[in-house]
Amino acid sequence: MTAPTARAGFDAALRLALTEARATAGSGDVPVGAVVLDGAGTVVGAGHNEREATGDPTAHAEVLALRAAAARVGSWRLSGHTLAVTLEPCTMCAGASVLARVDRIIYGVRDPKAGAVGSLWDVVRDRRLNHRPEVVPPDLVDAELAGACAALLTEFFTPRRFR
């Protein structure tokens, strides 16, 4: 796979995650979306934050997408799959990605307060673990797309910070 082709695939995956993030509109949940794609680029799992909607503290977009993918694939082992998410995964979601054995994590916005894929922690590249997925950070995706992921979060949080 050439670099431009890989980049196009990263961008396409992140666009799908962004569409999923928009599904949180009106729910009160932070607009984060995630998709899991198989080696051919087919979506096998998708999810968006549902913590507020369900009252489940583990209902993060990534966990829901990984659960859906595992159910569809028929195995918890998601080797050969890519997780694309609009916001850098937290420690729970980064850990779930490692445990699911995903090959790659693509994300659109760094999270300096809770990110566990390089910002605050780097769970997925910890050499003590038996699996380390490839990481595609925001600077390796289309800047306009990364900006759209950030704008969705800004639109959500701005009115809540100035109440």
Q: Indicate if 50 belongs to the active site.
A: no
Give the whole-angstrom CA distance, residue 14 versus residue 158: 23
Tell me which of 20, 50, 52, 62 is the catalytic residue. Answer: 62
- Please state, in angstroms and as integers, the Cα–Cα distance from residue 138 to each residue in 52, 149, 161, 162, following that order: 27, 10, 25, 28
Give the whole-angstrom CA distance, residue 43 versus residue 143: 23
Give the whole-angstrom CA distance, residue 1 versus residue 129: 27
Instruction: Specify burial of residue 106 (Cβ count, 10 A radius: 0-12, 13-18, 19+).
Output: buried
Q: Which two tokens stand for residue 101?
A: 């054995």
93 a known binding residue?
A: yes
Residues flagged as binding site: 60, 90, 93
Residues with catalytic function = 62
Binding residues for Zn(2+): 60, 90, 93
